[in-house]
A = this chain, B = another copy of it.
Amino acid sequence: MAPGTRDRMIAAAARLFQRDGYAATGWRDVVEAGGTPWGSAHHHFPGGKEQLGLEAIVLGSGQVLSALEECLAGAPDVATAVERWFAAAGQSLIASQFECGCPVATVALETATAVPTLGEACAAAFRAWEERLATALRRAGIAAGRAADLSCQAVAALEGALLLARCRREVRPLEIAADGVADAIRAALPWAD
């Protein structure tokens, strides 16, 4: 009756799905990584691996969203916040020795066609990030349509840069992408002088 067995399984799964993918990660890997009992797996996740995957996506998506919130709260302006958001992703990439990039992307690509439930959960995760950023952009005085486009561009740039950065084992792509997105945002902002 260890406290948080279920949560430990989700956390372990999230990390493994992020690193190795959904298909390549087995229950055995999850319980070994989390130090959780085998027998309780099906008890906590009667929906099977798919349910585990879903909860892992929700967890990972929430962490990314929290990071964005923090950056928005602590930065002087939106463009800077986005730069810090990208930088934070780069730090976590380095901290994990380039094992943990985006907690959603791998599963998203694997399951987009094969497992509708998971694919939709991943799409919802990306959408949530975009909407949070779009809200901030609108508050900074950018028109709704342009704010939506910039948010989409930012999330796409983050995802693509994380992919390249992880493959290449260096965070440069994240820095470049951050510059590009920040420039675009600053160009869209009304003059503040």
Contact = CB atoms under 8 A, between A and B. Distances in A.
B160 A161 contact: yes
A109 B166 contact: yes
A176 to B, nearest CB: 5
A20 interface: yes
Interface string A127-165: 100000000000000000000010011011111110110
Contact of A180 (B122, B153, B161, B167): B153
Nearest to A99: B113
A149 B166 contact: no
Interface string A161-188: 1011011100011001101110110000
Number of copies: 4
Nearest to A149: B176
A85 interface: no
A113 B19 contact: yes
A106 interface: yes
A156 B152 contact: no
A1 interface: no
Contact of A156 (B19, B21, B126, B161): B161
Nearest to A168: B123
A87 interface: no
23 contacts: A19-B113, A20-B114, A23-B24, A24-B110, A98-B112, A101-B112, A105-B109, A109-B109, A122-B167, A126-B168, A152-B164, A153-B157, A153-B177, A153-B180, A156-B157, A156-B161, A157-B177, A159-B159, A159-B163, A160-B160, A160-B161, A180-B180, A180-B184
